[in-house]
Homo-oligomer: A and B are copies of this chain.
Amino acid sequence: MAQQLADKRDIDFVLWEQLNGEDILKNKRYQDFTKKTCDMIISEARSLAIKELLPTLKQGDEEGVVFKNGTVTVPECFHRPFELMKKGEWSNLMVPAEMGGQGAPQGIGAAASEYFMAANWAVNCYSTMGVGTAIMIGLFGTPDQQNMYVPKLISSEWGGTMLLTEPDAGSDVGALTTTAKKNPDGTYSLSGNKIFITNGEHDLAGNIIHPVLARIENDPAGTKGISIFIVPKYLVNPDGSLGDRNDIFCTGVEEKHGIHGSATCSLSMGSKGNCVGFLLGKERQGMEIMFHMMNDARLHSGLQGLACGSAAYLLAVNYAKERIQGRDLADMANRDAKSIPIIQHPDVRRNLLRMKAYVSGMRSFYYYTALCGEKLNLLTSAEDKTPADEAFFDLLTPIIKEYMAVIGHDICIQAIQVFGGAGYTKDYLVEQYARDCKIASIYEGTSGIQAMDLLARKIGAKKGAGFGKLIQEIHSTIARAKEIETLVPLAEKLESATSRLSEITAILGQKAVSIEFKTAFAHSLPYLHITGDVIMAWMLLWRAVTASHQLNNDCKKKDLSFYNGQIKTAEFFIRTELMITLGKMAAIEEGCAAAIEIEDDSFASA
C-alpha cells in the first residue's frame, strides 16, 4: 500500500538529496539540529498526523462548527488532536528561538505542516494560526505587548486571527470602514464589522487575540490610512490573567463548500460601545505589518494545495492498485482473460502520472522557496542580501499561492475521477479534499489578485532582477541535465520553453505599461500559470538529475523504482504538459483583446 498523506521517501529525497538540506544545518542557528533529529521530528509529525488528526477529518466535515448564542463549538473530536498538537508544541516548531519557539529549519517545518494540513487542515489551523499573530507582535509590538501575548500565542494556549475582510472590503482592503477612536489612556475604541474571519471564535483556546485593520478617525482614505490594533477577546491583566470580556462578538459562522470544521466567523466590534484595541506598531503602519503575516499566509495557501493534492493522489494510487475492473487492453478479444487492477489501464496511468508530476513538482517548488526565504533570513546584515535574492523570493510567493492552490484542487478532482462512482461518495476522502482545498485559491488574495501582484509588482521589481534570477537558476539545472546523456532531450525542451517564457515576459511586461495595459492584465492569470508550469518542469528535471546521479552511485536496490520514477515523471511532464504550456504561451503572445473590448451587455441578455 502506498503511504498516507505524503510520501515520506519523497520528502526525504527533496530535503536531503535534491536540496542538500544538510548544508543549511551547518548554520550556527541550527546547531541543535542534525539530519537525524530532523528526521525524527518529521517522523513524529507524520505519526501524530496519521494517528490522531486524520481520524477526525471526516467527522469534522460531517459535524461542522456550531454557532449558538454568540459562541462557536468545534467538533468534539477536534479537542484531543488539538491538545496533542499543543502538548507537542508543534505550532512553534519554526518560530525563531528568540521569540520562544523551537527555531527548526524551514524544510522540517514544511514537512511537518504538509502532514498536519493533509491530515486535518482545520485542526492544524486552530493550532498554528496564533503564530502568525505572535510574529506580528514579536516584530512590531512593544516589549510589554510581546511579553503579554507572544508566549501564549506560540504555545497555542491562546488563538490568533487576522481581521481584514469586511462586507464591502475584500480584495480592496483600502475600502474598509472599521474605525478606531483614540482614548485619553492611549487605547483605542474600535467599531465595525468583519467577515470571513478564520477561527474568529471557537472553544479550543482560553483567549483569542485579534489583529484588526481599522482606520483612525480623520486618517486618509485607502490603504495608507490603515492602522492595525490588537483586540483581545478577553482583556489581559498586567499579571497575565484574563480580565474583562472585550466588546468583540461573533455574529455568525459561514456555511461553506468545505473545511466545515473550521470556524469562518462574522465579528462585530463595538456594538456596546466598548471594544478596546491597542495600537500595534505606529499609526497608519497597518498594511506593512499585515503583509508580514499575509506573505506567510499566501505561502501556506500554496502548501494547502500541495497537502490536499498529495493526500488525494496517494488515495488514488492505492485505490487504483486494489480496484480490480476490466481486462488488459491486450486481452480485449479474450473473454477468459482475468480482470486487472485499474492502474493497468492506460488512461488511469496517465492520470496518476500527471497527478504525481504535479505533486512532486509542487513539493520541490515549495521546499525550494522556503529554503530561499530561509537563506534570506539567515543573512544577518541588510548588505548581504542582494536585491535579486529578495526580488526572487517575492516573485515566487504569488506563484506558490495561486498555482499550487489551483493545481492542488485539480488533483483532488482527478483523484475523484480515478475512484469513479466511489469517489463521488463520502465513503472515501477524495471528495472532501476537493471541497476543502477549493478555499486555497480564494482566501489570502484570489487568483486574480495574485496574477496582478505578479505582473504589476513582482516581475519588474528591482529592474527585473528576481525574474532574471529565476531564468538563471533554471539554466543552471539545464546545464547539469545536459551532462547526463539521457536527459539531454528533456533539458533542451525545457531550455526552449524557458526562452519562450522570457520572450512572453518581455512582451507582456511592456504591454502592461503601454496603452494596452488592460489587455495585458487580461492575460495576467494565464501568465502566472505558464510561469508555474515552467517551474514545475524545472523542478522535475532537477529531480531527474538528482535521481540519475543516485542511480549511477550504486544506490540501494529498494530505491531503484523511486529514482527511475523521477526520470519517467520528468519525461512525462516535459513531453506532455510542457508542450501544452507552449500553446498557452502562444495564446498570451497572440494577445487577444476581446475580453476588454466586449461590451458589458454582451455577456448575457437582460
Contact = CB atoms under 8 A, between A and B. Distances in A.
Interface of A: 1-3, 7-10, 165, 168, 170-172, 174-175, 195-196, 220-222, 224, 254-258, 264, 313-314, 317, 321, 324-327, 329-330, 335-336, 339, 343, 345-353, 356, 409, 413, 416-417, 420-421, 423-427, 431, 434-435, 438-439, 441-443, 446-448, 451-452, 517-519, 521-526, 561-562, 564-565, 568-569, 571-572, 575-577, 579-584, 586-587, 590, 592, 594-606
Closest 8 CB pairs of A and B: A583-B583, A565-B602, A2-B604, A575-B592, A579-B587, A347-B448, A9-B605, A572-B594
A409 B416 CA distance: 13
A490 B321 CA distance: 46
Contacts of A602: 561-562, 564-565, 568-569
A256 to B, nearest CB: 6
B256 A349 contact: no
A442 to B, nearest CB: 5
A313 B604 CA distance: 9
Given A168-B325, A594-B575, A3 B421 contact: no
Contact of A424 (B9, B165, B442, B525): B442
A583 B579 contact: yes
A591 B8 CA distance: 32
A421 B165 contact: yes
Contact of A256 (B196, B258, B426): B426
Indicate how many identical chains form the complex: 2
A277 to B, nearest CB: 24
Contacts of A443: 421
A160 to B, nearest CB: 20
Given A561-B599, A587-B579, A606 B1 contact: yes
A326 B172 contact: yes
Contacts of A571: 592, 594
Contact of A595 (B346, B420, B592, B597): B346
Name the residue in A221, A431, A576, A584 with the highest tally of chain B Cβ atoms < 10 Å from its Cβ.
A576
Given A561-B602, A580-B583, A587-B579, A525 B350 contact: yes
Most B Cβ at <10 Å: residue of A330, A524, A599, A604: A604
B598 A565 contact: yes
A605 B600 CA distance: 52
A307 B318 CA distance: 34
B349 A8 contact: no
Contacts of A420: 170-171, 442, 446
Contact of A522 (B325, B349, B519, B599): B349
Given A347-B522, A416-B438, A417-B447, 8 more contacts: A8-B605, A171-B420, A222-B335, A256-B431, A257-B435, A572-B592, A580-B583, A583-B586
Contacts of A8: 605
Q: Determine which residue in A519, A522, A581 has the highest number of CB atoms from chain B within 10 A of its CB, and name it.
A: A522
A580 B584 contact: yes
Contacts of A595: 346, 349-350, 352-353, 572
A467 to B, nearest CB: 20
Contacts of A351: 448, 525
